[in-house]
Structure 1
Amino acid sequence: MYNKDHKEQGGVSWVKFAIIGTNTITEKLIEAGGSHPEFELTGVYSRNQERADAFADQYGAPLRFTKITDLALNEEIEAVYIASPNALHAEHAVTLMKHGKHVLCEKPMASNQKEIAGMIDTAKNQNVVLMEAMKSTLMPGFAAVQEHLHKLGPIRRYVGNFCKYSSRYDAYKQGEVLNAFKPELSNGSLMDLGIYGIYPMAVLFGAPRSIKASGLFLETGVDGQGSVTVDYGNMEGVVMHSKIIDSHAPSEIQGEKGTMIIPNISEPDHIHILYRDGTREELDVKNGSHPMYYEVAEFIDVIQQGAEQSAVNSFEHTLITARIMEEARRQIGLQYPADE
């Protein structure tokens, strides 16, 4: 459980974080957290001692861990950001939460619904905070989308488009298979990029009536790209994703009175509405902070408020997203070892 007597400095109450993973995403999280007055990086976990020491030295973290159990048992650490491979999220999160740690878990939360349900049960039983680190739905741009959505009239289509050529794909084509393309780690385009289109759809519109999916497989057995179409009865959702091509098309929310244009669904800003009468409305949104700052702020706020979960990145929205992705994987024949 949360220790209300944790470190205070200059009248500010700090939350002592550890991070799992020593990669680009953890570097970004630390950078974002560094601008939050209540974030304190205290520990670093890596399976490799040398890597843990080097990363901790780089960011000034006094504690280093190479065993999850040692991290879980450490009484100084209050919260952990998990950025290990997807297939390890559930195991790491459950171990940590059983020892009273709050968990901010990188998206996707886990490999499948079963793992996520187990994580949620553990969080509730241990009275700790568990939140999926989906940055986009906590950014000011997404709040503006929600605020102005009514201006579009009846919504008829949501289009979430995120196709980005992976920096690791060139290595893959040369015969080097990095984690991003390994099915044993529950990876691939849908899990990595498709979720950016699916999660906001779940927050805005809830669970769909039905799902149809297609995908293009790579030789390793993961999807390189694909699409998901869902039916909401009075509207449809279309999500396109890829790690092997680029797309410069925006995402859109199409209504009978106008269309909202979202240039970058993963970091929503510069959003505008094109109305049927030809007028254009700019939604004056300035994120102002690091894109990952807002998930750190939300997570810390939920802890400080003593709440069970985030109202936006909630258990319900995480589970709806997981159901859509798992059904999409079932339809295209993409199974992970974690599913067995």
Structure 2
Amino acid sequence: MVRFAVIGTNWITESFIEAAKNIDGFALTAVYSRTEDRANQFARKFNVENIYTNLQELASSNQFDAVYIASPNSFHASQAILMMENGKHVLCEKPLASNTAEVKEMVQCAKDHHVVLMEALKTTLLPNFLTIKEHLHKIGTVRRYVASYCQYSSRYDRYKQGEVLNAFNPVFSNGSLMDIGVYAVYPLVVLFGEPHSINGQCYMLESGVDGQGSLLLQYDEMDAVITYSKITNSYIPSEIQGENGSIIIDKIHTPEKVTIKYKDGSEEDITVKQDQHSMYYEAKEFIYLVQNKAFESTVNSHKSSIITATILEKARRQMGVIYPADK
């Protein structure tokens, strides 16, 4: 049994718990929140006895083995490092940290303390992403990766009314690329590794973060085009183009239907059935690592997280999106 604590009492944490509770070996035993009222409210909902409002006390607790971190991005590194220094395994929401330096520090801490550190990027562990990897060879030499994830944020309406919530606040290392664009970048990295050039541009909001943007990434034999937004919606699929055909992906962040269209006009549906909540598979991977003392995922690896952080940071700096954590 892997006993979990959670840092963050928002909807994503609730989704994680709902997904993970169906996994043998998962137990929720501790809740952290900055306020006692919120901690108690959340703990009652999930029948948890141990609540904490002090991070040091949480880190020193013997009531849990691993922690799921879903706090604002700017807190990820410091909270994860504190937990790992106290021997706790860490599953941390995407993006893993504010910048590359923080990610590297987290990875080194995990190695020094012999604990699991994994970025909670669900896409790359989903059944229909694994089927993309399995069938990728069928389209021949890959020439282009095109991914789009544009989702209008309900918080943007409040932003336009003058209220800057966390989602559009650079203090919390937020913005469209970090929150939305990462879902298109991380799968690219898992499939194709590190690009040799990165070009990014965005529409900058007055708060100092990107509302939407585009990336162009170059590899030796292919390029990648990524578009993302928190101020518009998009309904187009994503695509991996090869010389023999293209893989069409309905939603890059949570693929549910995947089709190959070959250059001769034929089609092959390579969709596989997904029986579980989309966050189930990342939780299962993490629990397996803890139980088997594997320390690092072969899919959501430390290397993939570092490359992804590097892409995000380089693109942000080109756009002029700079966080307090970068300075």
Alpha-carbon deviation of 1:26?
Answer: 0.3
Is residue 217 of structure 2 the alignment partner of residue 230 of structure 1? yes
- What is the CA–CA distance in structure 2 between the aligned matches of 1:286 and 1:62, rounded to whole Å? 37
Offset at 1:76?
Answer: 1.7
Matches of residues 11-22 of structure 1 in structure 2 within 5 Å?
A: 14-22=1-9
For residue 31 of structure 1, what is the amino acid of its counterpart? E
**Alignment partner, residue 116 of structure 2:** 129
Q: Distance in 2 between matches of 1:126 and 1:259?
A: 44
- SS in structure 1 at match of 2:236: coil
* Aligned counterpart, 2:292: 305
1:257 is aligned to: 244
Does residue 289 of the first structure (1) align with residue 255 of the second (2)? Answer: no
Q: What is aligned with 2:63?
A: 76
In structure 1, the partner of 2:28 is 41
- Contact 2:173/2:325 (<8 A) preserved: yes
The structural deviation recorded for 1:175 is: 1.4
For 2:143 and 2:109, the matched residues in 1 are separated by 38
For residues 206-239 of structure 1, what are the alpha-carbon distances to aligned partners after superposition, in whole Å with 9 as ceiling and x for unaligned? 0001011101011101000001110002100111
Q: Once the two structures are aligned, what percentage of the paired residues are identical?
A: 54
Within 5 Å, which residues of 2 pair with 1:1-340?
14-340=1-327
Code of the aligned partner of 1:132: E
SS of the aligned residue for 1:302 comes to helix
Q: Where do 5+ consecutive residues of structure 2 fail to align?
A: none
Counterpart contact for 2:176–2:228, Cα < 8 Å: yes
Q: Distance in 2 between matches of 1:107 and 1:201?
A: 15
User: Partners of 1:267 and 1:287 in 2: how far apart?
Assistant: 11
1:6 alignment partner in structure 2: none
1:160 match: secondary structure: strand
* Cα distance in structure 2, aligned partners of 1:173 and 1:207: 37
Letter matched to residue 300 of structure 1 = I
What letter corresponds to residue 264 of structure 2 in structure 1? D
Q: Report if aligned partners of 2:90, 2:118 keep a CA contact under 8 Å in 1.
A: yes
Q: Distance in 1 between matches of 2:71 and 2:126?
A: 23
Quote the offset at 1:320 in angstroms.
Answer: 0.6
The amino acid of 1:28's aligned partner reads S
Q: Determine the C-alpha separation between the residues in 1 that align with 2:246 and 2:271.
A: 16
May I ask how many residue pairs the two structures share in their alignment? 327
Aligned residue identity for 1:197: A
User: In structure 1, how many angstroms separate the alpha carbons of the residues matched to 2:19 and 2:159?
Assistant: 30
State how far apart, in whole Å, the 1-side matches of 2:31 and 2:9 are. Answer: 8
CA distance in 2, matches of 1:93, 1:69: 12
Deviates more, 1:106-115 or 1:278-287: 278-287
SS at match of 2:248: strand
Structure 1's consecutive aligned runs of 4 or more residues displaced over 2 angstroms after TM superposition are none
Deviation at 1:146, TM superposition (A): 0.2
1:75 partner SS: coil
Query: What is the rounded CA distance, in whole Å, between the counterparts of 1:79 and 1:267 in structure 2?
Result: 25
Question: One-letter code of the match for 2:173?
Answer: S
**Which secondary structure state, in structure 2, belongs to the residue aligned with residue 168 of structure 1?**
helix
Task: Give per-residue Cα distances to partners, 1:113-168, cap 9 Å, x unaligned.
Answer: 10011111110000000000000000111100000000001100001110000121
The CA deviation at 1:308 is: 2.1
RMSD: 0.6
Letter in 1 for 2:310: R
Cα deviation, residue 171, structure 1 = 1.1
**Matched residues in 1 for 2:275 and 2:222: separation?**
33
TM-score (norm 1): 0.95
| Rounded Cα–Cα distance in structure 2 between residues aligned with 1:176 and 1:113 | 30
Shift of 1:284: 3.2
CA distance in 2, matches of 1:160, 1:319: 20
